[in-house]
A and B are shown apart, each in its own frame.
Chain A
Amino acid sequence: MVPAVLATVTIPDAITFVLAAAITLVGAFGVVLMRNPVHSALMLVMTLFGVAVLFVEENAQFLAAVQVIVYAGAIVVLFLFVIMLLGVDRKERILAEVFRGQRPLALGLGLMGLAEVLLLGTSHWTTGARSVAGAMSTATGASGASGTYGGTPSLNTADLGRSIFTTYLLPFEVTSALLVVAIVGAVVLARRPQRRPGAPDAESAAGQTIPSDQPLGSGGTGAMTPPAGAAEHDPASAQPAPGALSAAGRGGGSAR
Chain B
Amino acid sequence: MSVPASWYLVLAAVLFMIGAVGLLVRRNVLVMFMCVELMLNAANLTFVTYARQLDDIGGQVAVFFVLVVAAAEVVVGLGIIVAIFRRRVGATADDAHILKG
Contact = CB atoms under 8 A, between A and B. Distances in A.
Interface string B64-79: 1101111111111011
B55 A47 contact: no
B1 A160 contact: no
A79 B34 contact: yes
B23 to A, nearest CB: 9
Given A31-B31, A185-B76, A189-B76, A110 B81 contact: no
Given A44-B38, A75-B70, A32 B21 contact: yes
Interface string B51-72: 1111111101101110111111
Given A113-B17, A131-B55, A51 B71 contact: no
Contact of B2 (A63, A79, A110, A136): A136
Contact of A160 (B8, B57, B74, B78): B57
A186 B33 contact: no
Given A28-B15, A79-B33, A10 B56 contact: no
Interface residues of B, number: 71
B4 to A, nearest CB: 6
Interface in A107-133: 107, 109-111, 113-114, 117-118, 121-122, 127, 131-132
A25 interface: yes
A37 B61 contact: no
A9 interface: yes
Interface residues of A, number: 88
Contacts of A60: 48, 51-52, 60, 63
A5 interface: yes
A88 B64 contact: no
Interface string A1-28: 0000100111001100100010011001
Interface of B: 1-11, 13-22, 24-28, 30-31, 33-35, 37-38, 41, 44-45, 48-49, 51-58, 60-61, 63-65, 67-76, 78-83, 85, 91-92, 94
Interface of A: 5, 8-10, 13-14, 17, 21, 24-25, 28-29, 31-32, 37, 40-41, 44, 47-48, 51, 54-55, 57-60, 62-63, 66-67, 70-71, 74-75, 78-79, 82-83, 85-86, 88, 90, 92, 94, 98, 102-103, 105-107, 109-111, 113-114, 117-118, 121-122, 127, 131-132, 135-139, 141-142, 156, 159-160, 163-164, 167-168, 171, 175, 178-179, 181-183, 185-186, 189-190
